[in-house]
Amino acid sequence: MKTIRLTVGQALVKFLDNQFISFDGNEIKFVEGIFGIFGHGCVVGLGEAIQEGDHSLKFYQGHNEQGMAHAAIAFAKQHKRRKMMVVTSSIGPGALNMVTAAGTATANRIPLLLLPGDAFACRQPDPVLQQIEQPHNYNITANDAFKPVCRYWDRIARPEQLMTASINALRVLTDPADTGAVCLCLPQDVQGEAWDYPEYFFRKRIHTVRRRPLAEGEAEFLTKIIAGKKKPLIICGGGVSYSEAGETLEAFTSNFNIPFAETQAGKGTIVWDHPMNLGGIGLTGTLTANRIAKQADLVISVGSRLNDFHTCSKWLFQNPKVDFLSINLHPFDAYKADGVPILADAKTALEDLDKHLKEKRYTASYGNEIRDLKREWDEEVDRLYSLDDKEGYSQSRVIGQLNEGLIPEDAIILTASGSLPSDLQRTWRTRIPHTYHVEYGFSCMGYEVAGALGAKIANPEKEVYCLLGDGAYIMLHSELLTSIQEGIKINIIVFDNSGFHCIGNLQGSKGIPPFGCEFNFRNNKSGLLDGKSVPVDYAANAKSYGCDAWTVHNAEEFKEAITMARESKISTLIDVKTNPESMTNGYECWWRVGIPEVSKKKAVNEAYKTQEKELQNVRQY
């Protein structure tokens, strides 16, 4: 057996550089590069191996550990999970900063490999700088915090353990049903230890993503269920996009007059004006989708996790005869809603079902209501897009300007938190598939700017526009500097309404006075944060990093700024001063939240009574 003597760091880099994905016969290099912030826990071990340069992995310098991990997630999401980035950090706080990103990856089913430094395996220098000690268990370090948010976790305590750990990491990362965050903890002494690795460990490895077909007899079984229903509704989830089943779903819905609604992850897989496309569903959904959902007698979930936003906290589907079936690769998701679980690839399953339903000559019993509801909703979106800005520049007007010609049709729109995901899912008209990028599986504030960087690295030929609130920008925008450093242009649009007004609206809707959500000065008289708004110049902040930036207050100024941003060769930021009350509201939806059962406030008590009444319409499962 031929061997090669390498350190753990060197062996890991060499192994990762030889991983490939095969999907539908197309072979793609899986690991593209490495994001890193070096500290004493990784710089002389893994860092030396990366610096060595005998590999093709590009290194990107991050500026916040959570931020660079979010950039890696966006990169993998934009590549439909068939390419990924690795992320490394030092021990202690550097590692813990990535825990939130690990949760984001796992919640969204996106591959993310984290390589945090760890305390010494030999324990002789302990406690080292940034080490957390647990007197009751010396095996526990800060890196154990990754366990609840990762799909696979391992600690490399000996050099030879790297082989099984790496193979298992790739098993999870390349599995469309089981993917998410993977954490390989690297004790800083072990990173530099050498071992004679067998050469075959570094051979080119091709991970074939196989389409799982329907089981024998399932197509006939499902055809019988669907044929017995008059008004089925399909929910298009992220699994449709990752399966590349968009065209298949388009044909399927047209063939059988079955409408479909979109989740955030599924939106943009099919263009907005397809006759069967009802738009977003649920709490952040359209009037069209939610009205059809209430009368549906069968809900066919394709590649969706069916979270509370999709189902309006299990309230939306009110037909007493409604049944559910889920087509999903993961049993955990397929069994949700107490429906019929179908473990299969979206594209393969829909193609098989299409043949059987054609034999039955099935057609859903919808008349003109889909067309009429879509027309009504189009008129509402047109109204939201054209709101006057004399009494304050509205959020929906900004979105409308972007969507109606100010940016290229193939530009990528990206956001994650606050009210913007709601407004975009309701009103954004996707004209080019796979240009709508919203992280809403975790709705992680701080994903936006870093995500824009990752999306741009994935699609350098396209313009990327990051839409985010001032709260999210303040929370995390450090990878804006990475974009300047790398010469990677991204466009940031900050909707500045001086606060966390999405949550403020929720607070107010349940009878609670404004508290803790506005960016106001402390009032010396009241002792509360209810003074004047804190003025922040986000454009000046961006200019300090080296961006081109503008501040705008109305539609005309925004048009001028976005035109100049398109011409710019460097990253840009537009600080848009918007009306705090200008986000869209819900359309025939409901959301269950933890309203106090008793309160001194009459409005809160009334809100609780209303919730108790609506709970009677919730499906129990």
| Residue 600 counted as domain residue | no
Instruction: With a cut of 90, say whether residue 297 has pLDDT above it.
Output: yes
If we measure between CA atoms, which residue out of 232, 296, 234 comes closest to residue 263?
A: 234
Q: Are residues 124 and 266 in the same domain?
A: no
DSSP labels, 361-409: T------SHHHHHHHHHHHHHHHHHT---TT---HHHHHHHIIIIIS-T
The two beta strands, 232-236 and 194-198, are unpaired
Domain termination site, one of 321, 345, 373: 373
- Distance (Å, whole) CA 136 – CA 144: 14
DSSP-derived 3-state class of residue 432 = coil
Domain termination site, one of 349, 373, 397: 373
Instruction: With a cut of 90, say whether residue 621 has pLDDT above it.
Output: no
If we measure between CA atoms, which residue out of 381, 416, 378, 387 comes closest to residue 579?
A: 387
Q: Are residues 174 and 222 in the same domain?
A: no
Q: According to the model, what pLDDT value does residue 184 have?
A: 98
For the full predicted model, state whether its pTM sits above 0.85. yes
Q: According to the model, what pLDDT value does residue 292 have?
A: 98
Q: According to the model, what pLDDT value does residue 387 have?
A: 92
Q: According to the model, what pLDDT value does residue 30 have?
A: 98
Of all residues in the chain, the percent with pLDDT exceeding 90 is 94
Summarize pLDDT for 57-74 with one digit per residue, the tens. 999 999 999 999 999 999
DSSP 518: B
| Residue 607 counted as domain residue | no
Q: According to the model, what pLDDT value does residue 53 have?
A: 84
Q: Are residues 294 and 366 in the same domain?
A: yes
Q: Are residues 223 and 203 in the same domain?
A: no
Q: Are residues 118 and 91 in the same domain?
A: yes
Is the bond preceding residue 127 a cis peptide, omega within 30 degrees? yes
- Distance (Å, whole) CA 62 – CA 450: 10
User: What value does the mean pLDDT take over residues 97-106?
Assistant: 98
Question: pLDDT-derived band of residue 556, with 50, 70 and 90 as boundaries?
Answer: very high
Question: pLDDT-derived band of residue 332, with 50, 70 and 90 as boundaries?
Answer: very high
In sequence order, which residues have a C-beta less than 8 Å from that of residue 597 and are 6 or more positions away?
608
Of all residues in the chain, the percent with pLDDT exceeding 70 is 100
- Residue 234: phi and psi, rounded to 5, are -100, 135
- Distance (Å, whole) CA 142 – CA 133: 9
Q: What is the CATH number of the domain that holds 324?
A: 3.40.50.1220
Q: According to the model, what pLDDT value does residue 452 have?
A: 98
Q: According to the model, what pLDDT value does residue 273 have?
A: 97
Rg (CA), the chain: 25
Q: What is the CATH number of the domain that holds 400?
A: 3.40.50.970
User: What value does the mean pLDDT take over residues 238-243?
Assistant: 98
Instruction: With a cut of 90, say whether residue 49 has pLDDT above it.
Output: yes
Q: Are residues 110 and 175 in the same domain?
A: yes
User: What value does the mean pLDDT take over residues 4-29?
Assistant: 98
| Residue 147 counted as domain residue | yes
User: What value does the mean pLDDT take over residues 421-445?
Assistant: 97
Q: According to the model, what pLDDT value does residue 393 have?
A: 95
Q: According to the model, what pLDDT value does residue 583 have?
A: 86
Q: Are residues 438 and 346 in the same domain?
A: no
Summarize pLDDT for 138-154 with one digit per residue, the tens. 999 999 999 999 999 99
| Residue 523 counted as domain residue | no
DSSP labels, 69-138: HHHHHHHHHHTTTSSEEEEEE-STHHHHTTHHHHHHHHHHT--EEEEEEE--SS-TTPSPTTPPP-TT-T
Write a three-state SS string for 532-574: CECCCCHHHHHHHHCCEEEEECCHHHHHHHHHHHHHCCCCEEE
Residues 266/237, Cβ–Cβ less than 8 Å: yes
Domain termination site, one of 320, 338, 373: 373
Instruction: With a cut of 90, say whether residue 343 has pLDDT above it.
Output: yes
- Distance (Å, whole) CA 145 – CA 137: 14
| Residue 569 counted as domain residue | yes
Q: Are residues 295 and 391 in the same domain?
A: no
Q: Are residues 235 and 346 in the same domain?
A: yes
Mean pLDDT, rounded, of the chain: 96
Q: According to the model, what pLDDT value does residue 388 have?
A: 85
Task: Name beta bridge partners: 3.
Answer: 198
Torsion over CA: 130, 134, 139, 143 (sign): negative
Q: According to the model, what pLDDT value does residue 501 have?
A: 87
The kind and range of the H/E element at 173 are helix 161-173
Q: According to the model, what pLDDT value does residue 370 have?
A: 96
Ramachandran class of 418: left when φ > 0, alpha when ψ lies in -120 to 50, beta otherwise? left
| Residue 32 counted as domain residue | yes
Q: According to the model, what pLDDT value does residue 312 have?
A: 96
What residues make up the domain containing 305? 218-373
Q: Are residues 229 and 330 in the same domain?
A: yes
| Residue 55 counted as domain residue | yes
In sequence order, which residues have a C-beta less than 8 Å from that of residue 539 and are 6 or more positions away?
549, 550, 551, 573, 574, 575
Question: Strand runs (DSSP E) across 202-343, as ranges?
Answer: 205-209, 232-236, 260-262, 277-280, 298-302, 323-328, 340-343
User: What value does the mean pLDDT take over residues 488-497?
Assistant: 97
Q: According to the model, what pLDDT value does residue 505 have?
A: 87
If we measure between CA atoms, which residue out of 126, 245, 251, 278 comes closest to residue 176?
A: 245
| Residue 474 counted as domain residue | yes
Question: pLDDT-derived band of residue 504, with 50, 70 and 90 as boundaries?
Answer: confident
Q: Are residues 363 and 345 in the same domain?
A: yes
Instruction: With a cut of 90, say whether residue 620 has pLDDT above it.
Output: no
User: What value does the mean pLDDT take over residues 467-482?
Assistant: 97
Summarize pLDDT for 351-404 with one digit per residue, the tens. 999 999 999 999 999 999 999 999 999 999 999 999 987 888 999 999 999 999
Q: Are residues 61 and 186 in the same domain?
A: yes
Give how many domains the chain has, as a whole number. 3
